[in-house]
Amino acid sequence: MLAYLAITGRPHRRDSLCEALWETPNDPRGALRWSLSKLRPLVNSPERERLQADRERVSLVITDIAIDTHNIAEELQNPELPASRLQEIIRLLSTPFLEGLDLPEQNVYQLWLNAERRALERLFAGVCARLARHNESPLDEQLLWARRWHELEPLNPSAATALVTQLDRMGLALELASLGAELDSRFTKAGISWSADARAAADSKSNPSAGPTERELLARQKIHFCKAADGARIAYASVGEGAPIVKAANWLTHLEHDWDAPIWSPLFRDLASDHRFIRYDERGNGLSDWNVSDISFDAFVTDLETVVDACGVEQFSLLGISQGAAVSIEYAVRYPERVKHLILFGGYAAGWRIGASEALTREREAVMTLTATGWGQDNPAYRQIFSSTFMPTANAEEFAWFNEFQRLTTSPENAVRFLSVFADIDVREQLARVKVPTLVIHSLGDQRIPVDVGRDLAASIPNAEFVGLDSNGHLLLGREPASKLFVETVREFIARN
């Protein structure tokens, strides 16, 4: 648990820790209390209470704790590290991460541990890449590191390019010819564009140290709490540097888990690579307070106001996804001087209750009844109702992740309250009052919010631009081409306006 708290570096709900580390039949809450009692004297001092716990959350203050993996990731941001230091980092990263601390029966923890190990493997490969091109290393050592890099990432075109380039420089013509043919065949079968003949051009463009990695961005993520006017604690996170983008909260989020999401994490990573990306958990879910009296559209807007003020950003681009689009529209109308760009994806101006037929009302009310009775159960069938319409082309692993993610993010009671609020959203009268540059993006095959809703939204906002994506997902899967186009479209719109 100490390693889990230290490496994640953020608060965890007590129930999340229990589920991650202990089997349910074995009194996990009692085990957590016992573990905290044993850890406190080890990490706390009279001057410093590092292990902090209240009735809802547990966190470890790591500001004065040296964590080797975090320090290494930070140090590797320096592009001028000497070869000797890079080789020392290779030695450090060769030590197995948290060896002997596997918990194969604890799915949440083991998935986290495996993801951390894969991230460090990618970091290790990145150091090999730098050594393969380091001008302080002799050619034979550069070739050695190029081989190692290629062994670690056999389908990485840059690794292949570095290896054949070093073979060429060393005059190893026979091996070069043999390997070049093998690589051409391998990449062709994998559907990856690469050619040994084009290696010089590719090598000149590749830069293994360009930009922070996903693991490095996550290590820099800072989670804070602010209080809304009614006292509700709102958790928010900031990662990356550059012009700020604030993402309004939407169904559902969890700052502890959504960085690993197959839907959001690639978008977060890409946007945070050249922007300060700010997001938060809505009241009632994630790390924000669950036990709140007010879950309403007005509360959603004031939560956004609270987070923006707490972050100290004066002007920013505002991203609204799904029902977060309506929240963003309302905020942009209230504070046009603060919103530089309004970006809406999968959004709508009016919830389903507005003008709903009797048949639709019966159908949606039945879904809310199912949610109330089945949301928290181990059987994911109830949550699958939402997953299948949010991302219909997801594979079994992605469905399983999202089904479990939804259960972790909020309670059955709050899930029903959210659905009821979303049904009554109505910002139609505000659309004509939007005065900021607006981009509306919508999946052409969205099964939850039809694309015509997005087109109507764009048509009702003065001078708004509309872009349709070749996807049927209400939420984009990071692996689909539409996800990349989404990020490119957002970047181009911000740069142009």
> Which tens digits make up the pLDDT trace of 9-24?
888 888 888 888 887 6
Domain boundary residue, one of 38, 60, 82: 60
Mean of the per-residue pLDDT values for the chain?
A: 86
Residue 204 located in a structural domain: no
The pLDDT, as a whole number, for residue 208 is 45
User: Residue 262 sits in a domain of what CATH number?
Assistant: 3.40.50.1820
pLDDT band at 218 (very low <50, low <70, confident <90, very high): low
Identify whether 390 is part of a domain: yes
Residue 82 resides in a domain: yes
Same domain, 155 and 251: no
Domain boundary among 22, 37, 60: 60
Is 177 in the same domain as 272? no
Under DSSP, the state recorded for 230 is T
pLDDT over 80 (residue 263): no
Buried b (16+ CB within 10 A) or exposed e, 107-142: ebbeebbeebeebbeebbbbbbbbbbbbeebeeebb
Please, which residues have CB within 8 angstroms of residue 394's CB and are 6 or more apart in sequence?
262, 387, 402, 473, 477
Q: Is residue 53 part of a domain?
A: yes
Residue 30 sits in the same domain as residue 165: no
Residue 200 counted as domain residue: no
Q: What is the pLDDT of residues 106-161, one digit of tens each?
A: 877 887 888 888 889 989 999 999 999 898 888 889 999 999 999 998 888 888 88
Please report whether residue 294 resides in a domain: yes
Question: Within this chain, do residues 349 and 229 fall inside the same structural domain, yes or no?
Answer: yes
Q: How many domains does the chain have?
A: 3
Between CA 104 and CA 112, with CA 106 as vertex, the angle to 5 degrees is 85
In 3D space, the residue among 141, 148, 103, 140 whose CA is nearest the CA of residue 121 turns out to be 148
CATH code for the domain in which residue 91 is found: 1.25.40
244 and 353 together in one domain: yes
Rg of the chain on CA atoms, in Å: 25
Considering the domain architecture, whether residues 245 and 181 belong to the same structural domain is answered as no
The answer to whether residue 326 is domain-embedded is yes
Query: What type of residue sits at position 220?
Result: R
Whether the CB-CB separation of 229 and 300 falls below 8 Å is answered with no
The pair of structure tokens assigned to 85 is 């230091």
Same domain, yes or no: 43 and 89: no
Assess whether 341 and 461 both reside in one domain: yes
The values of phi and psi at residue 289, to 5°, are -60, 130
Let me know whether 227 and 358 are in one domain.
Answer: yes
Residues 133 and 218 in one domain: no
- Lookup: tokens for 332: 């942009």
The closest of 305, 334, 306, 283 to 436, measured between CA atoms, is 334
Domain residue limits at 123: 68-190
Residue 73 included in any domain: yes
Supply the pTM of this predicted model.
Answer: 0.64
Domain endpoint, select from 155, 190, 225: 190
Output phi, psi for 82, to 5 deg: -70, 160
Q: Does one domain contain both 489 and 412? A: yes
Share above pLDDT 70 across residues of the chain, in percent, rounded to a whole number: 91
Best-predicted range by mean pLDDT among 301-310, 366-375, 410-419? 301-310
- Same-domain status, 287 and 433: yes
DSSP assignment of 85-105, as one string?
HHHHHHHHHTSPTTTT---TT
49 contact partners, CB below 8 Å, separation of at least 6: 61
Question: Which is more confident, 394 or 441?
Answer: 441
For the residues of 178-208, what is the DSSP string, one character each? HHHHHHHHHHHHHT----GGGHHHHHHH--T
